[in-house]
Structure 1
Amino acid sequence: MNRFDVEAFIDRQPIGRNQLVVLLVCGLVCFIDGFDIFMIGKIAPAIAADFGQPPEAMAFLFVCQQIGLAAGAFLVSPLADRFGRRRMLIWCCAAFGAITLGSVYAQTLDQLAILRGIAGLFMAAGLPMALALIAETTPDRRRSTFIALSLAGYSSGSAASGAVAAWLIDLYGWESGFWIGGIVPLLCIPLLMFFVPESIKFRAERNPNDPTIAGTLRGLDPGIELKGDEVFVLGEGNEKGRKARLTDIFSEGGDG
């Protein structure tokens, strides 16, 4: 049995196309996540006016979204440790993209509020899952930089929602924010499916004998020598190695 430390392997890799593609795709997810979450505050006056309601009538909608975001952070995000970061991120993009698009057809503010609450479940999980994929693909020396860039994308999404409120509402109505917030996450799905592999660290933690890990490692380093009897572990400190957990991205170092 040949123990192979995938964590050390990733940390030895130079920054190349594979890491940059993951950064760009997951950074786009962070951007649209920030856009979707903060968009509603920018277009709320236009929504209330269109439904013939005073601005304070939007309070229930904001409460529903915040409840959804809080519940999603506690209930949906941890599922990435069970089913995989990439798989759950794809499902989250599909869910909050489709629900955001469906919100355009809400007939009442109460319907819109409920839809925003449900969408919030999945919006809350999008950011940590995208950051986990980036962190577990990037060498330790650049991990903090890549995470910071992704968080900047999240903040840029919030700023972009203000631009929509300033420029597009007068032309296309408040629905334009929901069209953008719904279509972009759906476009992220094929990018995640075809260009972003599942985290090697997660796969090694789930199944140290996973034969597909060897193929992924060869894709990152064509010159790697594998004997075929490798047991893939995280770290060399103990027999089973360290477990990959979503919360690790906030406790590991980088750029040191």
Structure 2
Amino acid sequence: MPRRLVPTAALFALLASGPALAADAPPFSGPEKAAIEEIVRDYLLANPEILLEMSQALEARQEQARQEAAQAAIQGNRAALFDDPATPELGNPDGDVAVVEFFDYRCGYCKRVFQPVLDAVRDDGKVRLLVKELPILGPQSVLAATAALAAREQDGYAAMHAALMTHRGGYDEATIGKLAGEAGLDAERLLADMADPQVQARIETALAANRALAGALGVSGTPAFVVGDTFVPGAISQETLVELIRQARTDG
């Protein structure tokens, strides 16, 4: 007797509803189960693109779940994201859209997006840019973040931030001092502030808060952005950031 093929949609529905059917009907016998498995195998071998479609659908569903979780975290951490006085702010402090960036000075992708992000913010003119150090790539990252935050003691954060971001190579105290001088800061004062226990305590508190906030948002690497109420992991182009800012303003 020829084997009767089961329509694919009906077959997957049948398999998916197996536990529910079990309450109303006896389970498939061994031969019946084997026959169904063979039909599924044959169909997938003949139509392998279905596996890609299933993978894409799963990935889309997972991304939606990540975004929903991130949006909930954004709503629950708005003060830490947008109103923390320990977070350096660039751009327009009175802007109508906020962009938050988590970054590491030793992160190549962070360096790559540094200028495009600044350009997008400055070209718009009405965007707040809040930058949160997340030094996750070792002691040199921590040293660089400490230098940038210590530069706030002489109102030199923006200049030191730019100097550290555009630097190619590692970071040590000699390099920090050289970069500070080139950025127009008092290098000796910066190194002294970095060693000052009170300044160190403030910086350590700020970095700990950034790590906790990143964990709450599901940040797993740098860079990562929050644009309005949208979480964006990874590097983004200037064009993408401009569009996200537009969307945030529209959703306002």
Question: Quick check: which one's strand share is greater?
Answer: 2
Please say whether Structure 1 and Structure 2 have the same fold, judged by a TM-score greater than 0.5: no
Q: More relative contact order in 1 or in 2 (CA 8 Å, sep 6+)? A: 1
Pairwise TM-score range, normalised by the shorter structure: under 0.3
Q: Please report the TM-score for the alignment, with normalisation by the length of structure 2.
A: 0.23
Say which structure is richer in helix: 1
